[in-house]
Amino acid sequence: MHVLSQDGCSLWVKEEINKKIKKKGVEGRKVDRSRGGIIKKITRCMVLIKGISAIGAAGFCWGAKVVVERSKSDYLQAAVLLHPSLVTVDDIKELKVPIAILGAEIDKISPPELLKQFEEGLSSKREINGYVKIFPGVAHGWTVRYKVDDEKAEIKGKLYGSN
């Protein structure tokens, strides 16, 4: 993985990720809250590089929890959560950055009812821009399980992707 190329940051990022993979193994994917620490360090590295003044992050599934944790401080300037898991209404209340939450209509992990609670939490935080969008007819994981030969998925993408 090559994220940054100056100040030795890219080497550090690659080494840190490799340590995590060797330590836990790819199969043992439990949420490791220390990943937030890695994001914090990566963010600091990026700020040191000339020209980088704003950083955004996208979190898919359990990665949404990591992004939410970093969005409670000034490490990020924008965030996107896609079919989030492990995120709570209390997490949403603590956000300090603009955020888009993109969920699925068919989702047992973050059902539409929970996403609507997120939306209510965001509406009470007028100081940050945020919104929730629930994509009809798609299931949890929809952003990473797209099949190019699935005609229905292509139609849904055209119908809902441009809204």
pTM value? 0.69
Distance (Å, whole) CA 14 – CA 113:
38
**Mind giving me the DSSP string for 2-59?**
----STTHHHHHHHHHHHHHHHH-SS-----TTHHHHHHHHHHHHHHSTT----EEEE
Residue 62 to residue 51: CA distance in whole angstroms:
30
In tens digits, what is the pLDDT along the chain, a chain of 163 residues? 334 444 445 544 455 555 654 554 444 444 444 455 666 666 666 666 656 778 889 999 999 999 999 899 887 899 999 999 999 999 999 999 999 999 999 999 999 999 999 999 999 988 889 999 999 888 998 887 666 677 766 666 565 554 4
- Set out the domains of the chain in order of their start, with CATH numbers: 1-53 (no CATH), 58-144+157-161 (3.40.50.1820)
CA distance 64 to 60: 5
